[in-house]
């Protein structure tokens, strides 16, 4: 065992292969799945047998045999010695016949081992259990990643952790340090970040945190090609639990509360057989059983109801597994205990959090077995299909002279009042003689949400690649003097991200990303507030609107920042900037954060080497609207102005009362900036060809290259400056003859460019639209539609209201 250096954590106790034992409380999120496989230093058979042990730690169903000979007979030095001795004795057997026995016996033994081990390898199949978490390269320094994944389940200490340590103070020590000195109770009360594991029920069904029960992820989840539901809602967990533990799923339902009356059976995905569900209302003479489905009724705080799995029944209680009730770590292999009461020979399950409708038992439950993930070919193809891409329709309300009895915006709200001051009370657009809007179905809504979250994750991975590679950093056209600052920001200020906008195009079937404007907030107010109020003013019928949760999410995210000092919102006095800043100030104030709106030239001053506002408050946190490229240019201009642009011994000391420059504030080590400096990479167009090299032919990406290739000439292409914004200096080239279809001018004509595949946009009555998909604090939260009669949308392209119509 010491040769393998394998550690096992169980019941809060850490046992390292060297024999050392440490008691610890460990909490892990979900490590990145890299596809790399961790190596154990031993014979292949021993490595393989350890992989079998890892499998059995998570799945008791199915037989996984072990190889033989790994502890002695298959060591290379012994095999070599046996071969040498066999040859020697084989030669000597001409004179001494008994010597032939050793070569024959050894040949039989090793031939038998080979046949047996090959048989085990073929019959065992895949040992990479889907609920083993794959470890990134950086987690195992010094190891060769080549053999098998390591299951890491340590979000609560009574779950099992299988991990590998180079020495007892490397990986294992890193795990210990995460919660060193903390109590188990403290860990259980911690909020689990979105997309990370809260707990695991029934051996292998993890529950994931939704981060905030009030935020709807709008991201679909598929497992082995089968639709599970929306991440990480309660219905998704129930369907995934049935799939993993019973090989079954149930039909799609709109709300959890409807399952009790509308779902009559579950279907086994391997043969299509239906297993009836027997519904028992709360207050039934039938005692609830383990593996039953528990249904909660609608309530004010649960308008769609709730669903959970009864995983254990003990005296006086039922233990349930669930998602999206809270975001705390589980106390064990269950989420909560609910009271089980017997009164007048009737059984009641009571919950302080909601009203229980009843429970549903699976008839012939004994016939159902857990899914064997080593043999997924048995799943019927009829269950493995993607939902429709969705539909987009441009609609219009003919009467432009809409009579409003009162203002459609709140004049007591500074941002809304300022919007009226800019645009007036008229709700009509100047470029049309009707009220345009877009109608979007729920399939396209989830398509946009799922794509946006995946694209964001890919951009973050590409950002990491740039941080690790000087050559890629140079490709971004960022002066080298800022590289160390950018990398420091990436390492230390990831939590400071607030908002970014993906530009997505849709042709009726495919969604493609054009750009990631990770460092701008333009149109945020229009998406979060204006489009819904406009729709209500014109009495637009809708299920809900695509920005329905953005304001709530923004307030929640600012609260999570836990900022105690004043946040200074720095603006440049342009009308659109002022509008966005007034709205963001409103959001921060609702989050309980003290704020001050500042003009650079009037409200900030140097004081004893630090920066203060006009009220004498120290500037420690700022929210900005400027592009980082503008700040970089200001840095060089300021250095030149102060005589610091050449090698000399000059030391510049600020004068009290002088106004600081942009770069003095945003490149100040004593001031944290939102959005942080690392976003200059994520928003850089150089990431587009980098992404294409990492994910060639990905469904959401367009071919992007550093030069015009033959493939781009055949498809048509778009020339984009690596550093740019607002649709400036974009050129569209037709396929084959490369003639210019459309182009714009701007401030970035002298910048290096990348070349992206041309993606034809659909014309809606002469208008072309793209989706502005908002990523708030790392999650898709909503979107808006920008449309224009030009093929290239820019800062002046109007935001057009869209509504979601559920099908």
How far does Cα 510 stand from its chain's mean position?
A: 21
Residues 6+ away with beta carbon under 8 Å from 618: 565, 610, 611, 612
Torsion angle in degrees (nearest 10) through CA of 781, 786, 791, 794: -100
Name the β-bridge partners of 437.
395
Write the pLDDT tens digit of every residue in 769-778: 999 999 999 9
Nearest Cα to Cα of residue 263 among 160, 361, 385: 361
| Separation between Cα atoms, residue 10 and residue 162, nearest integer Å | 9
Q: If DSSP codes are grouped into helix, strand and coil, which group holds residue 154?
A: coil
For residue 126, is pLDDT > 60? yes
- Residue 800 carries which DSSP code? E
CB hemisphere CA count around 258 (13 angstroms)? 9
Nearest Cα to Cα of residue 623 among 601, 658, 594: 594
DSSP of 396-417? EES------SS-SS-TTSHHHH
Q: Angle between the 101-124 and 44-58 helix axes, to the nearest 10 degrees?
A: 30
How far does Cα 344 stand from its chain's mean position?
A: 49
Q: Find out whether 176 and 23 touch, Cβ atoms under 8 Å.
A: no
Highest mean pLDDT among 369-373, 501-505, 570-574: 501-505
- Residue 82 carries which DSSP code? H
Q: If DSSP codes are grouped into helix, strand and coil, which group holds residue 729?
A: coil
Average pLDDT of span 632-646:
88
Tell me what pLDDT residue 539 has: 81
The answer to whether the Cα torsion of 112, 116, 122, 127 is positive or negative is negative
Which tokens sit at 772?
């502005």
Residues in the chain: 807
| Separation between Cα atoms, residue 145 and residue 740, nearest integer Å | 49
Residues 6+ away with beta carbon under 8 Å from 199: 155, 156, 159, 206, 207, 321, 329, 330, 332, 333, 334, 335
Nearest Cα to Cα of residue 680 among 390, 476, 404: 476
Q: How confident is the model at residue 43 (pLDDT cuts 50, 70, 90)?
A: low
| Separation between Cα atoms, residue 636 and residue 373, nearest integer Å | 58
Residues 6+ away with beta carbon under 8 Å from 365: 246, 275, 291
Q: If DSSP codes are grouped into helix, strand and coil, which group holds residue 765?
A: coil
3-state secondary structure 42-73: CCHHHHHHHHHHHHHHHCCCCCCCCCCCCCCC
Average pLDDT of span 251-270:
94
Element (H, E) at 785: strand 779-788
Q: How confident is the model at residue 380 (pLDDT cuts 50, 70, 90)?
A: very high
For residue 154, is pLDDT > 60? no
Give φ, ψ of 573 to 5 degrees. 70, 5
Beta strands in 179-314 (DSSP E): 197-201, 205-208, 220-223, 226-230, 248-249, 265-268, 274-281, 292-296, 306-314
Q: Find out whether 311 and 196 touch, Cβ atoms under 8 Å.
A: no
For residue 619, is pLDDT > 50? yes
Q: If DSSP codes are grouped into helix, strand and coil, which group holds residue 105?
A: helix
Average pLDDT of span 311-335:
92
Nearest Cα to Cα of residue 320 among 312, 330, 328: 312
Of 148-152, 258-262, 542-546, 702-706, where does mean pLDDT reach its minimum?
148-152
Residue 603 sits at the vertex; the CA angle it makes with 598 and 604, to the nearest 5 degrees, is 105
| Separation between Cα atoms, residue 593 and residue 565, nearest integer Å | 8
The answer to whether the Cα torsion of 529, 531, 536, 542 is positive or negative is negative
Tell me what pLDDT residue 141 has: 44
Q: Find out whether 150 and 2 touch, Cβ atoms under 8 Å.
A: no
For residue 144, is pLDDT > 50? no
For residue 656, is pLDDT > 90? yes
Which tokens sit at 333?
């292999």
Tell me what pLDDT residue 793 has: 87
| Separation between Cα atoms, residue 466 and residue 460, nearest integer Å | 10
Q: Find out whether 297 and 181 touch, Cβ atoms under 8 Å.
A: no
Tell me what pLDDT residue 662 has: 92
Q: Find out whether 136 and 31 touch, Cβ atoms under 8 Å.
A: yes
Q: Find out whether 702 and 512 touch, Cβ atoms under 8 Å.
A: yes
Highest mean pLDDT among 19-23, 612-616, 794-798: 612-616
List of domains in the chain: 6-177 (no CATH), 191-383 (3.90.1720.10), 396-400+407-702+759-805 (no CATH)
Q: How confident is the model at residue 39 (pLDDT cuts 50, 70, 90)?
A: very low
For residue 516, is pLDDT > 60? yes
Looking up tokens 């333009």 gives 522
Of 2-11, 71-80, 538-547, 623-632, where does mean pLDDT reach its minimum?
2-11
Higher pLDDT, 694 or 599: 694
Of 152-156, 396-400, 589-593, where does mean pLDDT reach its minimum?
152-156
| Separation between Cα atoms, residue 275 and residue 264, nearest integer Å | 9
Instruction: Report, in this order, helix, strand and coil percent for the chain, each rounded to 5.
Output: 30, 25, 45
Which tokens sit at 72?
């002695």
DSSP of 418-482? HHHHHH-S--S-TT-SSEEEEEEEHHHHHHHHHHHHHHHHHHHHHHHHHHT-HHHHHHTT--GGG
Average pLDDT of span 219-232:
93
The answer to whether the Cα torsion of 533, 539, 541, 543 is positive or negative is positive
Computed over every residue of the chain, the mean pLDDT equals 83
Write the pLDDT tens digit of every residue in 470-479: 999 999 999 9
How far from 641 is each of 471, 600, 602, 661, CA to CA, in Å? 31, 18, 20, 11
Name the β-bridge partners of 293.
309, 360
Higher pLDDT, 139 or 89: 89
Write the pLDDT tens digit of every residue in 580-609: 999 999 999 999 999 999 976 678 999 999
| Separation between Cα atoms, residue 662 and residue 666, nearest integer Å | 6
Tell me what pLDDT residue 42 has: 56
Q: How confident is the model at residue 402 (pLDDT cuts 50, 70, 90)?
A: low
Measured in Å, how far apart are the chain's first and last C-alpha atoms? 58
The answer to whether the Cα torsion of 542, 543, 546, 549 is positive or negative is positive
Of the chain, the percentage scoring pLDDT greater than 90 comes to 54
Nearest Cα to Cα of residue 682 among 728, 745, 719, 627: 627
| Separation between Cα atoms, residue 773 and residue 514, nearest integer Å | 11
Highest mean pLDDT among 8-22, 146-160, 400-414, 627-641: 627-641
For residue 183, is pLDDT > 50? no
Which tokens sit at 199?
């707990």
CB atoms closer than 10 angstroms to residue 796: 11
Q: If DSSP codes are grouped into helix, strand and coil, which group holds residue 711?
A: helix
For residue 699, is pLDDT > 70? yes
Which tokens sit at 803?
């509504």
């Amino acid at each position: 065992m010491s040769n393998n250096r394998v550690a096992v954590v169980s019941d809060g106790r850490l046992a390292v292969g060297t024999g050392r034992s440490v008691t610890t409380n460990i909490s892990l999120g979900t490590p990145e799945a890299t596809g790399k496989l961790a190596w154990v230093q031993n014979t292949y058979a021993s490595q393989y047998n350890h992989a079998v042990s890892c499998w059995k730690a998570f799945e008791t169903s199915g037989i996984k045999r072990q190889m033989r000979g790994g502890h002695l007979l298959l060591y290379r030095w012994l095999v070599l010695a046996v071969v040498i001795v066999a040859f020697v004795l084989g030669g000597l057997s001409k004179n001494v016949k008994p010597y032939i026995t050793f070569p024959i016996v050894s040949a039989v033994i090793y031939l038998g081992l080979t046949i047996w081990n090959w048989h085990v390898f073929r019959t065992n199949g895949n040992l990479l259990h889907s609920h083993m978490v794959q470890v990134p390269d950086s987690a195992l320094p010094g190891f060769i990643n080549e053999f098998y994944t390591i299951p890491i389940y340590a979000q609560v200490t009574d779950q099992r952790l299988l991990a590998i340590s180079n020495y007892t103070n490397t990986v294992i020590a890193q795990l210990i340090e995460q919660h060193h000195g903390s109590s188990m109770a403290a860990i259980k009360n911690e909020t689990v970040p979105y997309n990370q594991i809260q707990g695991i029920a029934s051996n292998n069904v993890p529950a994931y945190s939704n981060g905030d029960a009030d935020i709807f992820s709008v991201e679909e989840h598929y497992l082995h090609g089968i639709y599970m539901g929306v991440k990480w809602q309660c219905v998704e967990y129930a369907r995934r639990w049935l799939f993993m533990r019973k090989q079954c799923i149930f039909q799609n339902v709109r709300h959890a509360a409807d399952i009790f009356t509308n779902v009559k059976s579950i279907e086994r995905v391997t043969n299509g057989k239906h297993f009836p569900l027997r519904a028992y209302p709360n207050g039934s003479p039938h005692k609830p059983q383990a593996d039953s489905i528990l249904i909660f009724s609608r309530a004010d705080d649960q308008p769609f109801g709730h669903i959970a799995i009864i995983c254990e029944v003990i005296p006086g209680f039922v233990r349930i597994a669930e998602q999206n009730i809270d975001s705390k770590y589980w106390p064990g292999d269950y989420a909560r205990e609910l009271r089980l009461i017997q009164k007048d020979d009737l059984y009641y399950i009571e919950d302080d959090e909601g009203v229980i409708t009843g429970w549903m038992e699976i008839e012939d439950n004994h016939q159902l077995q857990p899914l064997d993930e080593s043999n997924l070919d048995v799943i019927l193809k009829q269950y493995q299909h993607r939902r429709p891409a969705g539909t987009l329709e441009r609609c219009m309300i003919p009467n432009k002279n809409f009579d409003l009895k009162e203002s459609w915006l709140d004049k007591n709200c500074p941002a809304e009042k300022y919007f009226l001051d800019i645009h007036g009370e008229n709700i009509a657009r100047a470029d049309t003689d009707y009220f345009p809007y877009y109608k979007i179905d729920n399939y396209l809504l989830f398509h946009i949400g799922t794509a946006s979250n995946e694209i964001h994750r890919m951009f973050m991975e590409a950002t990491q690649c740039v941080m690790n590679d000087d050559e890629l950093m140079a490709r971004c056209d960022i002066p080298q003097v800022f590289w160390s600052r950018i990398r420091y920001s990436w390492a230390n200020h990831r939590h400071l991200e607030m908002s970014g906008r993906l530009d997505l195009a849709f042709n009726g079937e495919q969604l493609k990303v054009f750009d990631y404007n990770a460092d701008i907030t333009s149109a945020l107010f229009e998406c979060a507030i204006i489009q819904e109020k406009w729709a209500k003013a014109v009495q637009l019928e809708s299920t809900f609107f695509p920005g329905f949760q953005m304001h709530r999410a923004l307030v929640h995210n600012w609260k999570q920042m836990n900022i105690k000092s004043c946040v200074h919102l720095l603006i440049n006095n342009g009308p659109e900037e002022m509008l966005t800043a007034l709205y963001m100030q409103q959001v921060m104030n609702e989050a309980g954060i003290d704020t001050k709106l500042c003009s650079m030239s009037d409200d900030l001053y140097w004081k004893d080497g630090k920066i203060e506002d006009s009220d004498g408050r120290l500037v420690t946190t700022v929210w900005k609207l400027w592009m980082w490229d503008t700040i970089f240019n200001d840095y060089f201009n300021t250095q030149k102005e102060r005589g610091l642009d050449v090698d000399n011994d000059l030391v510049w000391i600020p004068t009290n009362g002088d106004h600081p420059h942009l770069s003095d504030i945003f490149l100040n080590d004593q001031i944290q900036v939102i959005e942080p400096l690392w976003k200059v990479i994520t928003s850089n167009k150089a990431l587009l060809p980098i992404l294409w090299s990492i994910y060639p032919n990905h469904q959401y990406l367009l071919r992007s290259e550093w030069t015009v290739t033959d493939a781009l000439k055949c498809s048509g292409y778009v020339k984009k400056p690596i550093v740019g914004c607002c649709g400036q200096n974009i050129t569209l080239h037709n396929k084959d003859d490369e003639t210019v279809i459309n182009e714009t001018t701007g401030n970035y004509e002298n910048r290096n460019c990348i070349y992206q595949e041309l993606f034809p946009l659909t014309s809606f009555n002469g208008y072309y639209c793209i989706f502005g998909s908002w990523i708030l604090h790392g999650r898709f939260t909503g979107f808006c539609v920008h449309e224009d009669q030009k093929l290239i949308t820019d800062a002046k392209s109007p935001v057009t209201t869209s509504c979601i119509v559920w099908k």
